[in-house]
Amino acid sequence: MSNLIVDNIIITTSLETILKDLQSELHNGKLSSMEFKGEDIRVSCPFHKNGLEEHASCGIYNGDDPKIGVGVFHCFTCGEKGPFFHFVAACMNKDDEYAKSWLKDNYGSGVMDDYLVLPEISVRESGEIIHPKYLKKDILEDPDLQSWHPYLAKRKLSQEICERFQVKYSVKQKCIVFPVYDETSKLWMLTKRSVLSKHFYIENDKEKPLYLYYYIKEQNIKEVTICESQINALTLWSWGIPAIAMFGTGTEHQYDLINKSSLKHIYLALDGDAAGDAGTLRFLKNVQDIFIDVIEIPKGKDVNDLTKEEFNKLSIVSSNDWIFNHNKNSWLIR
Residues with Cβ within 8 Å of residue 331, at least 6 apart in sequence: none
pLDDT at 202: 82
Q: How far apart are CA 232 and CA 270, in angstroms?
A: 9
- Same domain, yes or no, for 130 and 94? no
CATH code at position 98? 3.90.580
Residues with Cβ within 8 Å of residue 44, at least 6 apart in sequence: 30, 31, 32, 33, 34, 51, 52, 53, 54, 55, 56, 57, 58
- Same domain, yes or no, for 90 and 24? yes
Where does a domain end: 201, 224, 244?
201
In the chain the first and final C-alpha atoms are separated, in Å, by 41
- Same domain, yes or no, for 212 and 231? yes
- Same domain, yes or no, for 91 and 138? no
Where does a domain end: 111, 127, 159?
111
- Same domain, yes or no, for 217 and 196? no
Compare 147 and 109 and report the one with higher pLDDT. 147
pLDDT band at residue 331 using 50, 70 and 90 as cut-offs: very low
- Same domain, yes or no, for 305 and 211? yes
Residue 10 in this model has a pLDDT that exceeds 50: yes
Structurally, the chain folds into a number of domains equal to 3
Q: What is the 3-state secondary structure (H, E, C) of 121-173?
A: CEECCCCCEECCCCECHHHHHCCCEECCCHHHHHCCCCHHHHHHCCCEEECCC
Please, are residues 108 and 11 in contact by the beta-carbon 8 Å criterion?
Answer: yes
pLDDT band at residue 172 using 50, 70 and 90 as cut-offs: confident
- Same domain, yes or no, for 194 and 213? no
* Average pLDDT score over the chain: 84
Min mean pLDDT across 148-152, 207-211, 280-284 is at 148-152
- Same domain, yes or no, for 154 and 271? no
- Same domain, yes or no, for 191 and 85? no
What is the CA angle 41-46-51, rounded to 5?
A: 120
Domain that holds residue 313: 207-334
The per-residue pLDDT for range 262-297, each reduced to its tens digit, is 999 999 999 999 899 999 999 999 998 999 999 999
Q: What percent of the chain has pLDDT over 70?
A: 87
- Same domain, yes or no, for 35 and 121? no
Where does a domain end: 201, 232, 263?
201
- Same domain, yes or no, for 185 and 223? no
Taking the mean position of all CA atoms in its chain, how far away is CA 323?
Answer: 29
